[in-house]
Amino acid sequence: MAQDETKNPTRNEDPQPDGPPENRAAQLGLGFFFGVIFGFLLQKGGVGKYEVLIGMLLLEDFTVVKVMMSAVVVGMIGIYAMHTAGLVKLHIKPTRYGANTLGGILFGIGFGLAAYCPGTSAAALGQGNFDAIAVLLGLMAGSYVFAEASGWLARTVNRWGDRGVLTLDRVLNLKPRVLVPVMATVLVLLLVAIHVFVDPTP
């Protein structure tokens, strides 16, 4: 028995593959397809409008909250279902308190000043809001600076509070099949509460 265990040290691991073999062309095609759908839905949801986005920051318009929370619910259920079926791989970024905090602050400052984020700025430009050009130029400049500084960041900021891969199911010690329905129900109830008591606009 000991000899068998030595030859097969991974016998207790999940034998199911974590996703299909990678196909770069298919990945690019699907990325383009779903990117177009995402942009279309952003625009139709109204979250490409400056007044809607600044209204969210001023807690006067909750359209963005309702659109994004709906996307979280649909995405959470869909990704979990596809991962369970072995159709997709999960690429979870590590939790790094320093990098996450500084990145969140920078993102918040930019969002507060411009009232656009990367996705909504692209949708805004697509619908003819030319003020989004400045945001997209800033996005490209920031991406270049980040790429150039990636080595230094890896040696410094990325090591501040590096906790590795953390997910809510691991932190709470719950199975995803339990956590996903519970979280989806909580978010749907919260959406209903926001729509009924806070912002009844469609």
- Two tokens at 161? 């509070």
Which pLDDT score is estimated for 201?
Answer: 64
Indicate the domain borders of the chain.
25-198
Q: Show Cβ contacts of residue 47 under 8 Å, excluding neighbours closer than 6 positions.
A: 53, 63, 64, 67, 68, 120, 123
Distance CA 16, CA 27 (A): 21
Digit-by-digit pLDDT tens for the chain (202 residues) are 444 444 444 344 444 445 555 678 888 888 889 888 888 888 888 888 888 888 888 888 898 899 889 989 999 999 999 889 888 888 889 999 999 999 999 999 988 888 888 888 888 888 888 989 999 999 999 999 999 999 999 999 999 999 999 899 899 999 999 999 999 999 999 999 998 888 766 6
Task: Give pTM, 2 decimals.
Answer: 0.74
